[in-house]
Amino acid sequence: MLSRLTAAINKALEGHARALYRLGLRPNHMTVMGFLWALLASLAYWNWGLKWPYVALSAPILVLLSGYSDVMDGLLARSFGLQSRRGAMLDSTLDRYADLAIIVGIWAGGLCSSLVALLALSGSLLVSYTRARAEGLGVGMAGVGLAERAERMILIILASFLGLRWPYALEIGMALLASLTHLTAIQRAAYALRALGTSS
Report CA 155 to chain centroid distance, whole Å: 10
List, by residue number, the catalytic residues: 95
Query: Distance (Å, rounded) from C-alpha 56 to C-alpha 49?
Result: 8
What contacts 102, CB < 8 A, 6 or more positions away? 38, 41, 42, 45, 63, 66, 156
Q: Do residues 70 and 90 touch, judged by C-beta distance below 8 A?
A: no
Whole-number Cα distances in Å, 38 to 28, 73, 168, 194? 15, 15, 22, 36
